[in-house]
Amino acid sequence: MGSCIICGTDVGGGRVCDSHQEDVVFDFRGDSPNGLVPSRFYRGVVDGYAEFGVFVDLAPGVTGLLHRSELDQRLDSLDWEPGDEVFVQVKGVRDNGNVDLGWSIRQADREFRGVLVQESSGERLPDEESGDDETEEETETEEQADDAEDEDAGSDAEDEDAGSDADESGETIEADDEVDGSVEADADEPEPTDEGDDAERVASDPDESADAGASEEGAAETADEDDAEAVAAADEETDEDRERATITTLGDAVGESVRIEGEVVGVRQTGGPTVFEVSDETGAVDVAAFVEPGVRAYPDVEVGDAVRVDGEVESHRGDIQVESDALVLLDGEAAEAVRRRIADALTDEARPEGLQPLAGDETVAELADGLLDAAEAVRRAVLESRPIVVRHPATADGYVAGAAVERAVLPLIRDEHAKSDAEYHYFTRRPLDEPVYGMDAATNDATRMLQDRDRHDEKLPLFLLVGAGSTTESADGIDLLSVYGVDAVVVDAAVADPETREAVDTLVSPELTDVGGDETLSTGALVASLASAINDEVRADLEHLPAVSYWADAPERYVNLARDAGYDDERVAELREAVALEAYYQSYQDKRELIADLLFSDGGNLAAHVSEQFREKLETEVETADANVATEAVDGVEFALLDTDGYTHRYDFPPTPLLLDDLHRRRADGEPFATVGVGTDELYVRTTADVSVRDVAERAAELAPAADIATAGVREGKIEFLSGERDAVEDAVVAAVAEAF
């Protein structure tokens, strides 16, 4: 029976259990692609590029294709060169032998929890030889041992013979010496000396001779002990006086022996060393400690412990790492000193000095205290090596807000961590299909964070919800996170419901400070100022974002700020439309590099190209919808009613909320006007007056009690109902909206 190298579970003839297949990287030694196991990660070598992806050799004669659609970045931005060692996941093997590969964010042995060699005969650790080799080696070793024993036996026999001869020879020599000595003495007697007297006393008293020898030997031993204690004391003094290095200085100490002190923020077991991530007041670094392949070093050291590490600084694939010679678990005053040093540094670094709202927005300035609290929470998470998860709606405004935070946080993570890919481990942006943080999203997040905690010893993350999470509909999702003690920060430009205020750790919402004003504040504008407080060095990169976040009627101050930054009105519109289109496709993916290229690095071609597609698709859909709008007047309110099931492409761009927004803007002329889009079991309401969708839903539920009407999304005016009561719901909602005007 074999056992899993990760958890020790019995796994038959293998070396890794099913639940840890994706935690191990394999070296493939087979000669056929059919030997590859789907979902496993393999080490490979880049063979070459094609327009559609990268070819990777997994073994001689076994090559797979990593298609560009599997990459988390553009193909032309990939810095792999032919011959580079890379890590990929096998997605599957086709009937014709073609191997489909997937992207691996882990690109080093130490980032996996184990390494195995996969051969046709089975799996083994890299340092193990195959069964035949082991048998031959054991036989050879035994033969060598037998030969050595024979040689030793012969040598001992010779020594015994030599010893006998020596004894006999010695006795003869002593007799001869006595004779020779007497002759010499008779011939030339020397005068007696004190030494001679002493020698005579020793010779005449054997016991006295033995005592003298013992005294001399004891004196020698005492001297040796004194010397050893002196050396040990000197070593101890040197060890205590050894200067501590800060982690941020290790890049200049490659090849040198150093001492660091800090807190363990992560532990992962590889097929080789145990890797401890240690953080001090300046940064974090990986510390590799090796006992034997796959065996946990320092098993008593866990996340949160204070440690002292002595070791040599090395560079692996551009990442700084410390190869540990000794790792000491600190306690008492030593541990407290480390934690106090880190805590003091966190306090000094985490709190921004102040808030300077973009474009001097007074509405944002009124929210300064809350924004500074939010910025401190984010900065503290970076310094504590705590992952940050940003949740935002999959809209142009939501993406602008999420991208602003991303732009501010990633440089801080790069500065804090020595690993080149740390930004992918410690920052995640996950778009939401709707501006509600419901149980579906919360369950997904809870599952991921618990897996990361249990499998990779990661800390539980900080959740930052922007443009979502502040309404009653999000309460259950946030409560689920709170069960695990997870910190949640909510930043929303719209008014927050009272239930949310008690559920989250930090809430930024205009209503909390009675902010007034005629202009509507977008979430993108609010969060752009938050991002500048998180990292003031990226402030110039953020100046055009508030204008991009508004679909219409952007405040003049933000329009002027964008112009001063080099973004005229046409350019701002192109960015807004391009982000909106890309937000729709693969809405569950963050599209980090693509969005960054659009908002921060594009010279104009990419945004213009995507924006053109946006307009073509939107115009086609609006023309179809507009031709099929039914109009009616109820109590002085004009209604535009659209059957969204019959006259929209539900599974193509634009999404229904975006289509209705544009349709409503085109038809509303300032008079009491409402647009209602009705689908199978949901509808959307747009009005020219400040009408509460929640109030509309409650009133409609009274008028159509059998329809189970409920508010599904306040921010996007969404109401859900039972599909069998669709007609009754449409009439009830129209009546409720008319009453609300």
From the options 3.40.50.300, 3.50.50.60, 3.90.1640.30, 3.40.50.720, give the CATH code of 351-553.
3.90.1640.30
Span 18-128 CATH architecture: Beta Barrel (2.40)
Amino acid at 488: A
- In whole angstroms, give the CA distance from residue 400 to residue 545: 6
**DSSP class per residue in 172-198:** HHHHHHHHHHHHHHHHSPPPP-HHHHH
Q: What pLDDT is recorded for position 612?
A: 94
The domain defined by 628-740 folds into Diaminopimelate Epimerase; Chain A, domain 1 (3.10.310)
What are the residues whose beta carbons fall under 8 Å from the beta carbon of 196, sequence distance 6 or more?
A: none
The band of 651, judged by pLDDT with boundaries at 50, 70 and 90, is confident
Which residue is it, tokens 């930004």? 423
Q: What is the largest CA-CA distance in the chain?
A: 153
What are the tokens at 440? 């579906």
Strands of 488-491's sheet in order across: 427-432, 388-393, 462-466, 488-491, 506-508
- How far is Cα 505 from Cα 377, in angstroms, rounded to an integer? 10
Higher per-residue confidence, 466 vs 224: 466
Strand pairing category for 24-28 and 53-59: unpaired
DSSP helix/strand/coil, 26: strand
Element (H, E) at 483: helix 475-483
> Look-up: residue for tokens 């040197």?
238
Looking at residue 627, what is its pLDDT?
94
Contact 684, 717 (CB under 8 A): yes
What are the distances in angstroms from CA 554 to CA 28, 106, 549, 557, 671?
57, 42, 8, 8, 22
Contact 674, 637 (CB under 8 A): yes
Report which secondary-structure segment, H or E, holds 670.
none
Identify which of 20, 17, 23, 30 has the alpha carbon closest to the alpha carbon of residue 57: 30
- Token readout for 208 is 């006295």
Considering only 153-162, 501-510, 592-601, 615-624, which range has the smallest mean pLDDT?
A: 153-162
Q: Is 611 left (phi over 0), alpha (psi -120 to 50) or beta?
A: alpha
Residue carrying structure tokens 């409650």 = 698
DSSP single-letter state for residue 653 = S
d(CA 644, CA 651): 12
In terms of pLDDT, which residue wins out, 267 or 699?
A: 699
- Reported as type and span, the H/E element at residue 281 is none
**CA 64/CA 142 separation, integer angstroms:** 44
Q: Which of 416, 418, 441 lies closest to 431, judged by CA?
A: 441
- pLDDT for 444 equals 93
If you average pLDDT over residues 375-392, what whole number do you get? 93
Q: Report the CATH fold assignment for 247-349.
A: OB fold (Dihydrolipoamide Acetyltransferase, E2P) (2.40.50)
What is the tens place of the pLDDT at every residue in 661-693?
999 999 988 789 999 999 999 999 999 988 999
Mean pLDDT of the chain: 83
Residue-wise pLDDT tens digits, 229-287: 444 444 444 455 678 999 999 989 999 999 999 999 888 887 778 889 999 988 889 99
- Residues 667 and 673: their CA atoms lie apart, in Å, by 9
| Angle between helix 396-416 and 368-383 (nearest 10) | 40
Q: What's the pLDDT band for 306 if we cut at 50, 70, 90?
A: very high
All structural domains of the chain with their residue ranges: 18-128, 247-349, 351-553, 628-740
Domains 18-128 and 351-553 share a fold: no
Q: Looking at the predicted structure, is the pLDDT value of residue 644 above 90?
A: yes
167-206 per-position pLDDT tens digit: 433 333 333 443 343 333 343 444 444 443 443 333 334 4
Tell me which DSSP letter residue 600 carries. I
Query: Cis peptide before 393, with omega less than 30 degrees from 0?
Result: no
At 472, give phi and psi (nearest 5°): -55, -35
CA 465/CA 468 separation, integer angstroms: 6
DSSP three-state, residue 616: helix
**If you average pLDDT over residues 554-568, what whole number do you get?**
95
Whether pLDDT at 76 is above 50: yes
Helix, coil or strand: residue 507 = strand
- Both tokens assigned to 239: 């060890």
Helix (H, G, I), strand (E, B) or coil at 267: strand
Asked whether residue 455 carries a pLDDT value surpassing 90, the answer given is no
pLDDT 10s digits, 490-517: 999 988 888 777 778 899 988 654 544 4
**400 CB contacts (<8 Å, ≥6 apart)?**
524, 527, 528, 545, 546, 548, 549, 579, 599
How many CA atoms lie within 13 Å of 646's alpha carbon, on the beta-carbon side? 9
Q: Report pTM.
A: 0.61
Look at residue 52 in the predicted model and tell me its pLDDT: 79
